[in-house]
Structure 1
Amino acid sequence: MKTFALGTFSTAQDPSRKFAGVVVDHKVANLGDLAKEYGFAGLIDKTVLSLLDDWPRSLEDLQQLVHQASAHDWTDERELRFHSPVDLPRQVFCTGANYRKHVVDLTVDSKVGPEGLNDDELRAWAEDMMDKRVAHGEPYVFTKPVSAISGAYDDLVLPPTTRKPDWELELAVVIGQEAYNVSEADAMNYVAGYTIVNDISARDLIPRTDYKMLGTDWLRSKGQPGFLPIGPYLVPRCFIENPYELSMKLTVSGAVMQDETTADMLFNIEKQIAYITRYARLLPGDIICTGSPAGNGTHYNRFLEAGDVMEGTITGLGHQRQKCVV
């Protein structure tokens, strides 16, 4: 079976006209044109979202189409503009505090814990808390507005509302069929594929200081325009052998900030889907951001500034690049 990915693209000549594209070895074919040429009527005039609305049939047709289409005139992806591969999903869910070392580091950095502990003691306390959380706790999930979504190579416009814009490279799950009250055992059957996200966060806007009992404010801290670059591709699940053995790496202006694997995830994808669908209905094309590893700006006390360039990679899913501008 030939490996391929999906994306949403436009050309420099017609930037407002987006089209679903099939990607093979960094070459892109307009899905509609390809489907017409090889007689796949069911794939003509499809967006990536509409493919996901009928994903089992779409995947079968796409596999056959790609197998037959080697003689097609493909376009180098560098000649195209990338949009979010699912343009746009209906819902975005984010699982917070879901990487062990990340949460332990934040605990030590923020000095959150019993009084009188030194850093080593606080770290040991936090690690024990993570063990208990995995054994007895549940994922922590919130939503993010789709208006925050941008393409994988779009500039990040730093808003004047924050002094501490931060990065969070994450593996994202793309849902392939409606899901409600799904068991962990069945959860992966609802996954169409994977992509990369960067859950940009305004660290200084997370806590509500006007009324502390309100706790966190995810709208203002994570929902601003451009705060969720997605892509470049949607890679079907069948091409990612093990989502828990993927290398994740993010640099900021050449300096390595995050360098971890998905093995450090506290609650796996199955548990996240089961938890979300206990309370909400997942729809085809929905995105689940599965958490970010250690190495955020909070840990380094170093936040994004104009001129910074972020580059993020996850094994098998490509890479992102955003330049920070004002």
Structure 2
Amino acid sequence: MKLVRHGAKGAERPGLLDKQGRVRDLSGVSDDITPEVLDPGKLADLARLHFEDLPVAPMPNRLGVPIASVSKLVCIGLNYKDHAKEANLPIPQEPIIFLKAVSALSGPNDDVVLPRGSKKGDWEVELGIVIGKQATYVSESEALEYVAGYTIVNDVSERAYQIERGGQWTKGKSFDTFAPVGPWLVTKDEIPQPQSLGIWLDVNCERRQTGNTNDMIFSVERLVSYLSEFMTLMPGDIVCTGTPAGVGLGMNPPQFLCPGDTMRLGVDGLGEQQQRVLAYDPLV
């Protein structure tokens, strides 16, 4: 299944995508796509619905973050060898973990707003793992049992905030709108091989990133197991698995986002996102 949340920001309704690519409204079945809905039994109940009996949502229709009430965004840094190389950093021996504020969450096609005074806004297309069951001390062999599905995350970054202002990376990653997620949550039965997905991103119609999840240093199973040693992963949590080479910081010379730019990005089987880049406006 491909689960969505559609409608105006703050008033999204639950839905799913039918075989014709239309959004079917789930409001008569569920109040929202909450963490509780990601329980394997409840997902199985949804899969048994006759999708053609559900009302079609009106078009055009904004898509929101496909999961409501996300408790945390856990991110993995330098998880592709080519990205570590372009950053002139050593290959990690263990996953590099940082957190991204949930206030950064936004819909897959919502505008990305650069913070006040931003000079080094950057892009990062990533596979997102959506947790379906509470996970603590999970083995790698069992890890996929705790995954509800997958989505796309654009881990938008402000490199000056991230690198040049001391401390950890979180403040360069957490400005409002810096975590577009979606368009869908694709349940794991539709993605049996998460380590063989093409992944790409364009800026202003020019390809910047091209990669494949088989180039990840730490696999989906490894990441879920590893993270569960240090924190309890909760249903609805999103794990951002890192980005391939081609970020603006790694270009020669570096290139960064400017107001008016457009980002378009996708992952095989998970759809596409597109965002317009805006300058911060305190009156909006």
State TM-score, norm by structure 1: 0.81
1-structure distance, mates of 2:239, 2:121: 21
2-structure distance, mates of 1:50, 1:191: 13
Aligned residues of 1:246 and 1:262 also touching (Cα < 8 A): yes
Aligned residues of 1:208 and 1:217 also touching (Cα < 8 A): no
Instruction: Show the counterpart of 1:264.
Output: 215
Query: Where do 1:172-321 residues align within 5 Å?
Result: 172-209=128-165, 216-300=167-251, 301-321=254-274
Q: How far is the alpha carbon of 1:218 from its aligned partner?
A: 2.0
Instruction: Show the counterpart of 2:282.
Output: none
Q: How far is the alpha carbon of 1:216 from its aligned partner?
A: 4.2
Instruction: Show the counterpart of 1:105.
Output: 86
Residue 36 (structure 2) aligned to one of 32, 35, 50:
50
2-structure distance, mates of 1:72, 1:273: 34
Residue 9 (structure 1) aligned to one of 1, 6, 26:
6
Q: Is 1:30 paired with 2:25?
A: yes
1-structure distance, mates of 2:35, 2:62: 18
Instruction: Show the counterpart of 1:147.
Output: 103
Residue identity in the other structure for 1:47: I
State TM-score, norm by structure 2: 0.92
1-structure distance, mates of 2:178, 2:32: 27
Aligned residues of 2:35 and 2:132 also touching (Cα < 8 A): no
Aligned residues of 1:155 and 1:324 also touching (Cα < 8 A): yes
- Structure 1: 5+ residue stretches without partners: 36-43, 113-128, 210-214
Name the structure where helix makes up a greater proportion of residues. 1
Aligned residues of 2:6 and 2:12 also touching (Cα < 8 A): yes
Aligned residues of 1:6 and 1:48 also touching (Cα < 8 A): no
Q: Is 1:80 paired with 2:61?
A: yes
Q: 1:83 to 1:102 in 2, by over 3 A?
A: same
2-structure distance, mates of 1:196, 1:88: 17
Aligned residues of 2:16 and 2:24 also touching (Cα < 8 A): yes
SS at match of 2:225: helix
SS at match of 2:141: coil
Aligned residues of 1:48 and 1:85 also touching (Cα < 8 A): no
Q: Is 1:18 paired with 2:33?
A: no
- Structure 2: 5+ residue stretches without partners: 280-284
2-structure distance, mates of 1:72, 1:19: 13
RMSD: 1.6
Aligned residues of 2:80 and 2:215 also touching (Cα < 8 A): yes
1-structure distance, mates of 2:124, 2:264: 11
SS at match of 1:298: helix
2-structure distance, mates of 1:155, 1:312: 14
Q: Count how many residue pairs are aligned between Structure 1 and Structure 2.
A: 276
Q: How far is the alpha carbon of 1:71 from its aligned partner?
A: 4.3
Residue 73 (structure 2) aligned to one of 84, 92, 107:
92
Question: Quick check: which has more Rg, 1 or 2?
Answer: 1
Instruction: Show the counterpart of 2:48.
Output: 64
Residue identity in the other structure for 1:255: E
Residue 159 (structure 1) aligned to one of 115, 127, 142:
115
